[in-house]
Amino acid sequence: MPPLRDVTRIERVLTGLQRRGVQRGVFGSSRFWFYMAIFAWGSRKLRRAVGSESRLVYRGELRPGEILQIGHLTETYQGKRVRSRRRKIAG
């Protein structure tokens, strides 16, 4: 798991729901928490697949005369390149 400050609030909530759901639903006898664990696990996997994880890279104040250059790096997931989500147009 990434360092705590890199994890979004939603990811922390989903992780907590998943853990509690496994404890009380899978190892316990609560059907509600079992389904909550499935929901949280599925939501985390879907968010990761869709790429909705945003991460703050830099926060600062620009003074007059300073320049901010924004670039784009190839998107990766755990060091592996991610396929483009755009539909490829044959032509």
Stretch (H or E) spanning 40: helix 31-50
Q: What is the pLDDT of residues 4-63, one digit of tens each?
A: 556 778 889 999 999 999 999 989 999 999 999 999 999 988 887 777 556 677 788 999
Please give the residue that has the higher pLDDT: either 77 or 47: 47
Which residue, 34, 48, 37, 35, is CA-closest to 14? 37
Residue type, 79: G
| Radius of gyration (C-alpha) of the chain in whole angstroms | 19
**Statement: the pTM of the whole predicted model exceeds 0.75:** no
pLDDT for the residue 69: 84
What does the block give as tokens for 64? Answer: 């007059």
pLDDT for the residue 90: 59
Q: How far apart are CA 44 and CA 24, in angstroms?
A: 19
pLDDT for the residue 82: 64
Neighbouring-strand partners of residue 76: 81
